[in-house]
Structure 1
């Protein structure tokens, strides 16, 4: 379907795609035309994928490509090649949409033959995201001796994000507040989960410490990062899930989060995991988590 340079049809006798020629009588008992597909369909596919993409850096670049005029398809491929995880999402998304088109086409044929429709062969997007996380990333417990530099650099990178969102002194004020929240305790007193790509790149972390420091069953989230080029892949959700499991295994009863600096888009994720809004923050009662 995507190859528009050659017209092919399905040969029902051999079960293969064959190149069309004028001697064929399409749509009789042997040869069947494939579903139509043109450049407009392709552009709509690119636009739909970009609109659903959560990775902010990749999404911004792809939107620029889509509004740039000529060479859209080539430029789109060039951009996603620089984001391997996004490229994998794209291929899954494209294949799923194409499969839907094929399934609809085949079911229409089955109806014309007096047969029942078959169920869609499209996989759940959630399953594909979970598979990507498991296959492409490694999760381990935070080791302050080896990992403190990663989190320090990520805090510094937040300066760019705050500068993009706020003006001048206000951006500096938010960054300072963010640092103070992280500096509640020194890195060697923090625990948590860290994520790296298989190539060793830092891809996110979630850290906590006892609060107060002499507490036995209550911890405070001090850091929760996913670098911009790894966002939208489900890493944050996986980090939070693994952290909660770790806390339960350690006998922790309450997990606190001060919401003064953390972004608002985290709230739905926290609620899904059972956090309750308390004042300006959130509390998870781990005794009530299955």
Structure 2
């Protein structure tokens, strides 16, 4: 960069973006009471009020930090809520955002009720701010931009989940909680009044029946509360069956099932199990997309179709005979 007339021509560059320096930038961006800038000569962050004279004498030496206003924080909260898969907290947080009064305080209070969700929020917000800082660095530092080309994204939640839950194979104390999860799932189907749901509820009831050969993996919160489980059986050499599973409503959408499933696969692999049959029905079908990257083989499939629509199709179109 060029400097003022009468001073040496100095090529200013941004300092290396270490984790410590990144945290300092984030702190300064979130401090709404003060304005900061980066002193490129010293490689430090300074409050603007303390370097006003030097900025006038050598403006190219100082770089303004990326902007982060309360409106940016609000938009980040909206984006975070839109990503939530837990319907209970998604709706509560949406109500907070639409309330118009004390939104930031209310938002934090709701998140504080659920530590895993609160941790997920801070991770999400931190990621949004980091992205803005990285773009800022790329605009002002060619070497930094080139070094990040092709960089893979971080795994968003795996490590967070491990800090918030304890997994155990000791299930005796939690069998009642597992039965309660199953009963609620069965009642949701039975209460719809649809005959097909009643049939599905009976199938689900059979799947949740305990057997002597059952094995379990149970998830507990750090305070010792039951949060979810997997029930599986070892069928024959190299094959196991995931019979049923459940996650308490307030913990859904946080990645807990994925954490349980990954841990189970690690456990089974150590036992020499190479294949796992996963039984999916009713609400459990929502996890099916998780398995798509490994191209699972369909063993059985049930479908529900409309006979009147099928009859109309048969009359009005020429159909292939597949079998």
Taking structure 2 as the reference length, what is the TM-score of the superposition?
0.70
Whether 1:135 and 2:163 are equivalent positions in the alignment is yes
Count residues with an aligned counterpart: 269
Aligned to 2:225: 201
Q: Which residue of 1 aligns with 2:185?
A: 158
SS at match of 1:221: strand
Does structure 1 retain, via aligned residues, the 8 Å contact 2:187–2:201? no
Structure 1 residue aligned with 2:117: 86
Cα–Cα, structure 1 residues 58 and 24, in superposed 2: closer, same or farther, change >3 Å? farther
Query: Given the alignment of the two structures, is residue 77 of structure 1 paired with residue 105 of structure 2, yes or no?
Result: no
User: Which residue matches 1:226?
Assistant: 247
Q: RMSD across aligned C-alpha pairs, in angstroms?
A: 3.3
Contact 1:9–1:19 under 8 Å retained in 2:
yes
Shift of 1:139: 1.8
Contact 1:9 1:32 in 2 (8 A): yes
Whether the aligned pair in 2 keeps the contact of 1:219 and 1:256 (CA below 8 Å) is yes
State which of 7, 13, 25 in structure 1 corresponds to 2:55.
25
Aligned mates of 2:48, 2:152 — CA distance in 1: 30
Which structure: greater strand fraction?
1
Of 247, 264, 282, the residue aligned with 1:261 is 282
CA spacing shift, 1:9–1:257, aligned 2, 3 Å: closer
8 Å Cα contact 2:221-2:227 kept in structure 1: yes
Gaps of 5+ in 2: 1-28, 303-323
Deviates more, 1:269-278 or 1:95-104: 269-278
SS at match of 1:6: coil
Give yes or no for contact 1:259–1:280 (8 Å, CA) kept in 2: no
**3-state SS in 2 of match to 1:224:** strand
> TM-score normalised to the size of structure 1?
0.77
**Match for residue 284 of structure 1?**
none
> Is the Cα–Cα contact under 8 Å of residues 205 and 239 in structure 1 kept in the other structure?
yes
CA–CA distance in structure 2, aligned partners of residues 95 and 123 of structure 1? 17
Distance verdict in 2 for CA 1:39–1:248, change over 3 Å? closer
CA distance in 1, matches of 2:161, 2:119: 11
Aligned to 1:288: none
Aligned pairs for 1:61-72 within 5 A: 61-72=92-103
- Whether contact under 8 Å (2:38, 2:63) holds in the other structure is yes
- Counterpart of 2:227 in 1: which secondary structure? strand
Residue aligned with 2:30, SS: coil
Structure of higher CA gyration radius:
2
Q: 1:16 aligns with which of 45, 49, 60?
A: 45
1:146 corresponds, among 173, 197, 212, to 173
